[in-house]
Structure 1
Amino acid sequence: MTEAQALLDHRRHLWMVLAPLWLDREPGERDYQRMIAEIERLELDFRSLERIYRLELAPVLARHQVSMVGGWRHFEEEPLLHALMRHALRLTPWRRRLWWLMSGLTTAMTRHRWHHLIRQLMSHRRTGQHPPE
């Protein structure tokens, strides 16, 4: 198995379930519940989750978000996965540091959604239950 295939197998569902944070509509509670379920399935800690959000997703999705004309209501999964894979495979230590520094800009439009997700995830981990829909 190639490095790219292993990465795709491991990240594909997580990337796609978190991608609605960048849509031009607010994610619904079902979206957040799917995000939490996948985060828990992968047993991601908050530090790893933040790294994925800021270094893997935000640089790619923020570029798509600001370049779209009109509404952006859904994703074409394969082109998005291709862009995410290409970006992730090019993340050298130097590029990681650069994207970490730039992440204030690349996450600005989704940060309120991210905080909502983290609050819900924290609540879920405290109680073991998803918030009501």
Structure 2
Amino acid sequence: MIDRATLLASRQTLWLSLTRLWLDSEPGIRDYEQMAEEILRHDYTHKQLEWIYRIEMAPVMVKYQVSITQGWKQFEAQRILPPLVRHTERLTPMKRRFWLLFSGLTTSLSRHRWVTLMQEVQHQQAMATRDIDT
């Protein structure tokens, strides 16, 4: 099991960046570019990123997205990181399977944004590869 400090060190900036997928307003082009840049700073495979999105973040973030409270214009780190850490620390193999099974529900409102983000990541990777080749 990963300790809290290591978990935060490896995920904090990524989680905070990706919270924009669950905001009330649609992310803009610059938001997608910045999220993609943050993703590319990490050495995660597409499958690992998908798991971070579906298993670690979506079960926590969807609660905010569907709440009847005021609109979410941004998520404050001190408010959103503790629930993300607690949830991720408690992910046993059985709970991972559970959240994987229900991830269609927990990601349904943000999936289109995730797809757009992954397209931006691929675009930035292609541009970086092209720059290296020239």
TM-score greater than 0.5 by the shorter chain:
yes
Distance 2:29 2:75 in 1: 19
CA displacement at 1:31 relative to structure 2: 1.4
CA displacement at 1:76 relative to structure 2: 2.1
1:105-129, Cα deviation, whole Å (9 max, x unpaired): 0000001100100111111112228
Q: Does 1:79 align with 2:79?
A: yes
Amino acid at match of 2:35: M
Over aligned residues, Cα RMSD in angstroms? 1.4
SS state at 2:91 partner? coil
Q: State how 1:18-97 maps to structure 2 within 5 Å.
A: 18-97=18-97
Distance 1:34 1:91 in 2: 28
- Unmatched 5+ stretches in structure 2: 130-134
Deviates more, 1:102-111 or 1:40-49: 40-49
CA displacement at 1:86 relative to structure 2: 0.3
Distance 1:18 1:26 in 2: 13
| 8 A contact 2:37–2:121 mirrored in 1 | no
Distance 2:126 2:75 in 1: 32
Distance 1:68 1:9 in 2: 32
Amino acid at match of 2:37: A
- Unmatched 5+ stretches in structure 1: none
Distance 1:92 1:6 in 2: 17
TM value normalised by structure 1: 0.91
Higher relative contact order (CA 8 A, sep 6+): 2
CA displacement at 1:70 relative to structure 2: 3.2
Percent identical across equivalent pairs?
45
* 2:5 corresponding residue in structure 1: 5
* 1:114 corresponding residue in structure 2: 114
SS state at 1:67 partner? coil
Amino acid at match of 2:100: W
